[in-house]
């Protein structure tokens, strides 16, 4: 069936509230800038989105979280309204280490030495690298719908490759994927994100408008491809050089109707990379924060509270 991006956008429901009361900031950093949305006065909680989205993914859960935390919803390097630096032949500016460096600088700018992280998809890979490189900065981490990168590449079979075709296509040398995506970015975005178990149902119109507008920028398309190229090259070298598992509490959540559930034993793989792992699936596909926000909050609120109160010591 042919997907019609304009019809999907027109039919998307309008959210009653979309980051009401959140400040929007463009924070200058040594290697560019980070765009973020911020609200709340409690302990800092950094939320990171995935591909091919922006910080808008958190609009259904961030308001509730901001009642207990200072919530910082950031656009990753190469995505949304954050900087899209020039790359190099090794893709070094788009390693998860480099992307995590932006976020450490952001949290330094905001005055937060230690913080919690909740992260989806590519953002969860950035969060994993940040936690591995800077364990004293991260109090607790929750990943959404990923297993660790190294282990997914290691254990993925042909059925996984069929589901995660973009992992193998976006790493092709520039400008091959960039040119094809740029020919019709709206169609590509809709085809990529609305073909899963939940279809277009998770996406509110305001978020969808933001995603499509961001992805019409050729620099965003290129930056996202560089993210994947770095994951297949330098990121795997960084993973191989890790001295051992991360030690802070990690809550892994994934969609019961998605590719992680179909192809991997998520908790077992995380236990190769982290010492203190818990987690379970949720009744949804890939886009957990938009698909089942209440179920996500039911898992996140006690986890983050237990970390902060010492019931799960960091």
- Element (H or E) spanning 123, and its range? helix 122-133
By C-alpha distance, which of 134, 97, 83 is closest to 112?
A: 134
User: Which residue has 């995506």 as its token pair?
Assistant: 181
Catalytic option among 75, 239, 286, 291: 286
Catalytic option among 121, 186, 227, 239: 121
- The tokens describing 199, both together, are 């279809």
Can you list the pairs that 307-314 forms with residues at least 24 positions away whose Cβ atoms lie under 8 Å? 307/116, 307/139, 307/140, 307/249, 308/43, 308/116, 308/139, 312/140, 312/249, 312/276, 314/139, 314/140, 314/248, 314/249
Q: Are 27 and 106 in contact, with CB atoms under 8 Å apart? A: yes
Residue 211 CA, distance from chain mean position: 14
User: Which residue has 């900087």 as its token pair?
Assistant: 83
- Residue 227 falls in the annotated catalytic set: no
- Residue 286 falls in the annotated catalytic set: yes
DSSP 55: G
What are the catalytic residues?
A: 121, 286
């Amino acid at each position: 069936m042919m997907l019609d991006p304009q019809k999907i956008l027109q039919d998307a429901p309008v959210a009653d509230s979309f980051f009401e009361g959140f400040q929007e900031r463009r924070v200058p950093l040594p290697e560019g800038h980070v765009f973020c949305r911020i609200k709340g006065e409690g302990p800092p909680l950094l939320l990171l989105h995935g591909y091919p989205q922006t910080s808008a993914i958190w609009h259904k859960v961030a308001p509730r979280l901001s009642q207990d935390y200072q919530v910082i919803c950031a656009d990753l390097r190469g995505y949304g309204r954050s900087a899209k630096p020039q790359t190099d032949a090794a893709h070094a500016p788009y390693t998860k280490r480099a992307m995590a460096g932006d976020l450490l600088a952001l949290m330094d700018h905001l005055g937060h030495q230690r913080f919690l992280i909740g992260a989806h998809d590519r953002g969860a890979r950035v969060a994993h690298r940040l936690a591995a490189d800077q364990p004293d900065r991260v109090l607790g981490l929750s990943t959404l719908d990923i297993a660790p990168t190294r282990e997914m590449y290691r254990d993925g079979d042909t059925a996984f490759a069929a589901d995660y075709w973009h992992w193998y296509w976006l790493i092709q040398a520039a400008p091959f994927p960039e040119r094809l995506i740029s020919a019709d970015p709206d169609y590509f975005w809709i085809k990529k994100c609305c073909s899963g178990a939940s279809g277009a149902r998770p996406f509110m119109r305001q978020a969808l408008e933001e995603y499509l507008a961001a992805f019409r920028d050729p620099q965003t398309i290129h930056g996202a491809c560089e993210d994947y190229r770095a994951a297949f090259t330098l990121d795997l070298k960084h993973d191989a050089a890790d001295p051992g598992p991360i030690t802070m509490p990690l809550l892994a959540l994934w969609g019961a109707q998605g590719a992680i559930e179909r192809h991997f034993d998520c908790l077992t793989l995380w236990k190769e990379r982290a010492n203190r792992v818990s987690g379970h699936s949720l009744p949804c596909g890939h886009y957990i924060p938009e698909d089942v926000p209440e179920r996500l909050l039911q898992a996140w609120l006690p986890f983050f509270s237990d970390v902060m109160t010492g019931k799960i010591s960091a």
